[in-house]
Structure 1
């Protein structure tokens, strides 16, 4: 069973470009873990959200990728640079 996620992030306009850079760094760490099939960074059509998506071969590979993020030198802090809470949905293939 493949697993994935879709995450919507809402950076404040003054931090938008910085936030895209942060998401790209996290993408690089996630995608380097074994079993990662893809990780993408998108911008919503209205320009308000940075959307990240990913897909892994298994739940174990998914967990390993996020464990790598926890120990990497990347900024995943939720703080005043974002104007509303992130929306993160974990997915499973059917």
Structure 2
């Protein structure tokens, strides 16, 4: 059973590009972790939200990759300095 997430982030309009760059850096680091399957960074057409997705072979693999993200200053919960409202994170399990 795979474990994944979809997260909606709401950076300030002037920070969308910087936020996307940071998301891509974290995604690139995740790609090198055991159990990684995929990750993507999306932006809504109006630029109002950045949506990140990821999937891993297991929850343990995700948690290990999330720890690498934390070391880079990213967390799956909380609010970064670039966001104007709290992100919405949904965790998923394949069936």
TM-score of the two chains, using structure 2 as the length reference = 0.87
Q: How many residues align?
A: 92
1:40-87 Cα offsets, whole Å, 9 max, x none, are: 10112332111100011111111111122223xx33272442111100
The answer for unaligned runs of 5 or more in structure 2 is none
Superposition RMSD in Å: 1.5
Q: Does 1:63 find its partner at 2:63? A: yes
After TM superposition, list the pairs within 5 Å mapping 1:64-83 onto structure 2.
64-71=64-71, 74-76=72-74, 78-83=79-84
Which residue is equivalent to 1:12?
12
Which residue is equivalent to 1:86?
87
Structure 1 residue ranges, 4+ long, deviating more than 2 angstroms after superposition: 74-81
Q: Is the 8 A contact 2:16 2:47 kept in 1?
A: no
Local SS of the residue matching 2:63 = helix
